[in-house]
Structure 1
């Protein structure tokens, strides 16, 4: 079995996910699986976050920028981007753990250390977000005909910390299927290096991880693995034989958190992605995840917020309308780890494609009447990892 690891190796994650989905379809017909593939489920959430999101503790979450009319060209006061216009000097700030604007070629990532078949650092001031350097990932239909699993990935290991922020700018210049999984963040002990194992519950004293994914609707979700994650076997997320909604087999795929009411990300222009994650106090459920797009708060998951309904391995913000759905309750927060030695340690820009998943997404787009490119290109620029909120580069 191949697995998508923190070092950028390829996996059969999607193949395993398809098997789980087939079990669900054959079982009770409930489409609310935790595969994280495709759009919001039918009869899903009925409300949106257009009015803004209240901030999580420590002043670090999705409400810092206010409502959805945020101007990404003006970073919120107190952020690193506000202190370093154009990111000039940002690399030397003590809060910054990693920075790459791709102006100096390869050398700042653990890997790769040179251009690959799918990854190229290019210099073009007309194409870059800032300066002239940027990273291009391109995976073609011909590539996928040759290799079933392609992980077009950079990766870096940084100083281990309990709470962290990431920011990068991305551009999707062509209309093509989005990656099956995308950006990866992993936490672990110094020795642990096993993020990306499909259908695997990580040990609480070893590590956890989550992907930041986008589907054919061009909206985003977190896809998380941790030692208290829920199974897709039972309606209540347990794996007890004979439970309500029992699917007959036990499986653990990433638990899905997809904020409702998202506008599709813009095609063929640069946009800014920021994320925040906080590990829990051991024994408590005070861990959190949040993200912003172009400075606007979109997703925010922390103790007591938002209200929603767990069904199997997906948290439906504001509730859901399947027959097995229970009334919404405040989100309990994340118990990500059972040891303080598990800390955030690595980051991947990983456009991960699987041949069958890609073909299904392509067919869905063509059924909508879209003309789909054979090149799946993503551009990246101005990557920062820090212990403070960063803000979009001006």
Structure 2
């Protein structure tokens, strides 16, 4: 990779997903904010200039139309051709059909076309919802999506997660799910999620961008349990509400047993954080092969009764994607 420029039998399976999604996953206590990962950005490599920025493979596809045909694209959904919500995904979490819907946001941003996924979480009724797909993995993976937080959206507990499972069939496809508060084994699972970080109500909602990662060399929290370790840059702006944002993150698998794995993220084509030296796994059979796109709302600091997040233009690729091409 070079720098170009700056600026999941099936009923049991479904029940497992629903059970996992409905379980409140604790956050670490404020005292554990400095354990593991890189919460203060001291190991952030973003300024080293090793990764691309700006336009990527998506630049040649207006509003992502046709991007699925690019040879480096593993999965893409702009929600325009879906016969039903989640028809191109493997699993859908939509409590009583009241969480997920399709809306037209084209007047707000032409890059999203006439159909975008709307996730509506209502406190006391549901915890939000979303979609999961399994896919053939690659040494390096780039996950790109557009997102908009409603102007009144409050804090979100979990967000978009890339999971490593032992395989794509049977029970092997579930090894990367669950396990909150438990340190994974190096042949079992690892995961990383790009999420809004509210810092226990200190950051204005929805928060600031943060990696929330589980792997076999993560560090324990002061309570002795293993909650996701954080990776954040030293400084970054808060996440704006009411605007479409292009979010992309990358995961590079490590050589099994060696600390040469990486992760990074971009906002609107600008590299915001990059970390290396990560020993994600010690078994080559364990690869990142499932993506969950969701807005999961349970934080005790969330006070707004209705919290809306919109998604569009989801791409999983083997090379840098970048923002969608402009009409």
TM-score band, normalised by shorter chain: 0.7 to 0.9
Could you say which residue in structure 1 is the equivalent of 2:186? 204
- Select which of 228, 231, 237 maps to 1:263: 237
User: How has the CA–CA distance of structure 1 residues 88 and 12 changed in structure 2, closer, same or farther, with 3 Å as cutoff?
Assistant: closer
Distance 1:6 1:346 in 2: 13
TM-score scaled by length of structure 2: 0.80
Distance 2:128 2:112 in 1: 26
Could you say which residue in structure 1 is the equivalent of 2:3? none
Q: Which runs of 5+ in 1 are unaligned?
A: 25-29, 66-74, 234-248, 303-332, 363-372
Could you say which residue in structure 2 is the equivalent of 1:82? 59
- Select which of 200, 204, 218 maps to 1:229: 218
Distance 1:285 1:33 in 2: 21
- Select which of 264, 269, 285 maps to 1:290: 264
Residue 92 of structure 2 is aligned to residue 112 of structure 1: yes
Report runs of 4+ in structure 1 exceeding 3 Å deviation: 4-8, 30-36
User: How has the CA–CA distance of structure 1 residues 374 and 85 changed in structure 2, closer, same or farther, with 3 Å as cutoff?
Assistant: same
| SS of aligned partner of 1:98 | strand
User: How has the CA–CA distance of structure 1 residues 48 and 184 changed in structure 2, closer, same or farther, with 3 Å as cutoff?
Assistant: closer
Residue 228 of structure 2 is aligned to residue 254 of structure 1: yes
- Select which of 111, 125, 145 maps to 2:106: 125
- Select which of 343, 348, 365 maps to 2:292: 348
Distance 1:220 1:343 in 2: 24
User: How has the CA–CA distance of structure 1 residues 48 and 230 changed in structure 2, closer, same or farther, with 3 Å as cutoff?
Assistant: closer
| SS of aligned partner of 1:81 | helix
Distance 1:11 1:137 in 2: 18
Tell me, yes or no, if the aligned pair for 2:153 and 2:309 is still in contact at 8 Å: no
Cα deviation, residue 277, structure 1: 0.4
Could you say which residue in structure 2 is the equivalent of 1:215? 197
User: How has the CA–CA distance of structure 1 residues 52 and 162 changed in structure 2, closer, same or farther, with 3 Å as cutoff?
Assistant: closer
Residues 69-127 of structure 1: per-residue CA shift (max 9 Å, x gap): xxxxxx43xx2113334323211112111111111223111122989211112245325
Q: Which runs of 5+ in 2 are unaligned?
A: 1-14
Could you say which residue in structure 2 is the equivalent of 1:185? 162
Could you say which residue in structure 1 is the equivalent of 2:314? 383
Corresponding residue pairs, total: 293
Could you say which residue in structure 1 is the equivalent of 2:33? 32
Cα deviation, residue 152, structure 1: 1.2
Tell me, yes or no, if the aligned pair for 1:10 and 1:151 is still in contact at 8 Å: no
